[in-house]
Amino acid sequence: MASAVINTRCHRCGAGPSPTRRIRACTGCSSVGYCSKSCQRADWSGRDGHKSVCRAGRESCAADPTDAAVRLEVKCGDVDEWKDVGPISLIEDTANARMLDSVHSGGRHRTIPPRVDALRQLPAITRGILGSESSRKYKYQHSHDGIDENLLIFFHGAGDTHLPFDALGRQMALPQTATLSISASISLIPTNETNPDLCRFVELPFDFGHTWFEEMDYECTGETLPMDHPRRLNSLRRALEILHPLLCSLTDQTIPEAAWIPERVFLLGFSAGGCLVMEMCRMWMDDGRMPLGGAICIAGGIRTKGTDAGVSSKAIKGSTVSTQQKQPTEVLIITGEDDSIYPKEAAELSKQLYHPTKVQIHVQEGKGHSMIRSEDEMHVMMEFLSKRLVRRLVWRD
């Protein structure tokens, strides 16, 4: 859809602006405007369509109006209110799989000036839960463009740390998206707990690092625990209990300094972190809360029936279950064709256990149990995010 509000007539039908209709500029060149998505689409194709003229003046090609796009909000007058006016094209550089925060005007990049109040700090209650002595065990990074409209939270796999995921967040350079990467070595301090020992995750033997919950018998045999083993389920539930207050603190709109609403918070996890992320989404749904913006599970996902297994948040102390209809967060699962730990059959099971219509699965050819490495995987992930990220633009006269 066109983006900026401009003072001109629709390039397709000739309609002018009115109290109920705005003329919005093409995001590719800002030289023409349209009164509706249908007019823009009709004018886009064809021998003499705007597509050929618009793309001729670009340094890189934007997506068609029907392609993946992020939603746009514009400021309403002088008051601090914003209105969702539909999607805008998101420029993607597939060579390095980065997203650029700019709009194009006559072949020149015109970067959007950030708002003075666009940089968001973690709420004080969130920083309290993370702990003042844990600053080296998590990384919070502002968006590269200086507007923290969205938040992407990373959860690593067993034995890893948060640092590679912090680097991944900077490499992705999502527009208007801050990142928070957390290490499983952290000791969180929820407000309803006083004993720090109750807020720790799992330490692996032989200094192999930390993980979120017990997937293996780390004490005796070293073998993988069955999916419905009580130790695995209890450990997983404990991890959810620890993280539940953290996620609530980031999205609780009763807190004056709450930084994000749920639909602007995104989760990404690998392997054990992927399982944890999907369980958190199920917990969030079972609580009757508004869905998060989206979740990406790489080589991991839920493996058991949550309520039967006892990992539902209904049993979590302090949670309040709403009677409203459950609204699941949309999930993207990326797994490898040669992944023996989390094969495509496990991904299909996760889809059925969670919500069949809210899970998208991508099986990467020739990939084992590993993080994203190929351009195809990055493209799938970026496309998923591009349909859900919210972008705030300030247009100045």
Angle between helices 272-286 and 344-354 (to 10 degrees): 10
Q: Is 363 left (phi over 0), alpha (psi -120 to 50) or beta?
A: beta
Residues of the chain with CATH 3.40.50.1820: 124-389
Which residues pair with residue 153 across a beta bridge?
Answer: 180, 267
What tens digit of pLDDT does each residue of 18-42 get? 766 677 777 666 667 778 877 887 7
Residue 77 pLDDT exceeds 50:
no
Residue 38 is predicted with a pLDDT of: 76
> What percent of the residues of the chain are helix, what percent strand, and what percent coil, each to the nearest 5?
30, 20, 50
Residue 30 is predicted with a pLDDT of: 64
What tens digit of pLDDT does each residue of 251-305 get? 987 776 667 999 999 999 999 999 999 999 999 999 899 999 999 999 999 999 8
Q: Please tell me whether residue 183 adopts helix, strand or coil conformation.
A: coil
* Strand-strand pairing, 390-393 and 138-141: unpaired
CATH architecture of 124-389: 3-Layer(aba) Sandwich (3.40)
**Which of 138-152, 309-323, 383-397 is the least confident region?**
309-323
Q: What is the average pLDDT across 202-219?
A: 91
**What integer best gives the mean pLDDT of the chain?**
77
Contact 75, 84 (CB under 8 A): no
Consecutive H or E run containing 351: helix 344-354
Residue 135 pLDDT exceeds 90:
no
Residue 306 is predicted with a pLDDT of: 66
Q: What is the average pLDDT across 213-217?
A: 92
Residue 66 DSSP symbol? T
Angle between helices 230-251 and 272-286 (to 10 degrees): 70
Residue 134 is predicted with a pLDDT of: 66
| Rg of the chain (C-alpha set) | 23
158/134: higher pLDDT: 158
